[in-house]
C-alpha cells in the first residue's frame, strides 16, 4: 500500500491558514496533520479547537489531530465537534489509556496513540489491538524543524512486528524530521503515514510541488523494489 502523506499545519503560515488548506486541497496530501500543544505537556503552545473549526470548512482532506496536551480526555469531544477525523493522544499523558482510547472510538473518530522518542513500543502490547493508529515521534515533541532521530527506523520495524504479533491493523504514523531523503527507508521499515511539516512548507518549490515530488519519489522507489522482489 502506498503511504499516506500528512503535511503538518504547524509549519504553515499561521496568518493565512485558510489559504494554506485551500491550496492543499488539490495536492498529494491524504490527511492534514493538526498539532495541538498546551505549554504543559510540551514547551510550546499552538492552536485549539476554535482554529480547527475555522479552517475545517475550507479543507478537502480529513484532519488528523495530534494532542500533545495534558488530560486530553477533557478535550476530545471539542476537537471531534470542530472537525477531527482522527484523534491521537500521548501514551505518556494518559494513565488510563484504554479508557481514553475507548472514549475516542465512542466519538466516532480514528483512535491513535503517540509515543515519545524514549518510550518503547512494547508498552503498547496490551492495547495494540484496540488502536487505529500508532504515531512514532521521530523528534522530541514541541517544536517543528527538528532533526530526525535515526533510531526511529528500528523503532518502526519493532512496532510493525508487535502489531503483526498482536493481530492489530493499526497504521504506523511517523512525525518529525521526515523528508524525501528518509521517506523510503521509513516505508520499508513499516510506516504507513508520513507527517512532514518544515520540509513541505519551507521548501522553495512550495508545499503542493513538494508533496507531488514526494509522492512520485515514493511511487518510483517502492515500485522498483516490489518489481525486484518479483
Give the Cα separation of 37 and 69 in Å (integer): 6
Is 64 among the residues known to form the active site? no
Contact 207, 24 (CB under 8 A): yes
Given 30, 38, 130, 175, the catalytic residue = 175
* Residue 178: HSE in the Cβ half-sphere, 13 Å Cα cutoff: 34
Strand-pair category, 84-90 with 63-68: parallel
Element (H, E) at 5: strand 4-7
Contact 7, 197 (CB under 8 A): yes
Give the Cα separation of 74 and 181 in Å (integer): 38
Cell 490527511, residue?
A: 31
Given 30, 35, 38, 192, the catalytic residue = 35
Four-point Cα dihedral 18, 23, 27, 31, nearest 10: 0
Q: Which residues are catalytic?
A: 35, 175
Amino acid at each position: 500500500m502506498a503511504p499516506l502523506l500528512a503535511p503538518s499545519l504547524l509549519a504553515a503560515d499561521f496568518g493565512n491558514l485558510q489559504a494554506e488548506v485551500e491550496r492543499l486541497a488539490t495536492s498529494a496530501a491524504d490527511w492534514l496533520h493538526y498539532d495541538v500543544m498546551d505549554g504543559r505537556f510540551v514547551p510550546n503552545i499552538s492552536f485549539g479547537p476554535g482554529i480547527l473549526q475555522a479552517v475545517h470548512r475550507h479543507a478537502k482532506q480529513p484532519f488528523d489531530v495530534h494532542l500533545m496536551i495534558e488530560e486530553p480526555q477533557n478535550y476530545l469531544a471539542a476537537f471531534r465537534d470542530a472537525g477531527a477525523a482522527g484523534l491521537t493522544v500521548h501514551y505518556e499523558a494518559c494513565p488510563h489509556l484504554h479508557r481514553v482510547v475507548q472514549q475516542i472510538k465512542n466519538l466516532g473518530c480514528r483512535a491513535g496513540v503517540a509515543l515519545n522518542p524514549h518510550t518503547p513500543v512494547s508498552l503498547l502490547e496490551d492495547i495494540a489491538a484496540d488502536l487505529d493508529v500508532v504515531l512514532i515521534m521521530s523528534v522530541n515533541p514541541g517544536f517543528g524543524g527538528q532533526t530526525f532521530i535515526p533510531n526511529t527506523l528500528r523503532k518502526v520495524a519493532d512496532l510493525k512486528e508487535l502489531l503483526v504479533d498482536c493481530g492489530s491493523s493499526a497504521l504506523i504514523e511517523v512525525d518529525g524530521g521526515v523528508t524525501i531523503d528518509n521517506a523510503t527507508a521509513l516505508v520499508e521499515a513499516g510506516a504507513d503515514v508520513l507527517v512532514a511539516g518544515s520540509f513541505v512548507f519551507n521548501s522553495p518549490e512550495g508545499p503542493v510541488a513538494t508533496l507531488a515530488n514526494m509522492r512520485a519519489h515514493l511511487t518510483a522507489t517502492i515500485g522498483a523494489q516490489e518489481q525486484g522482489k518479483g
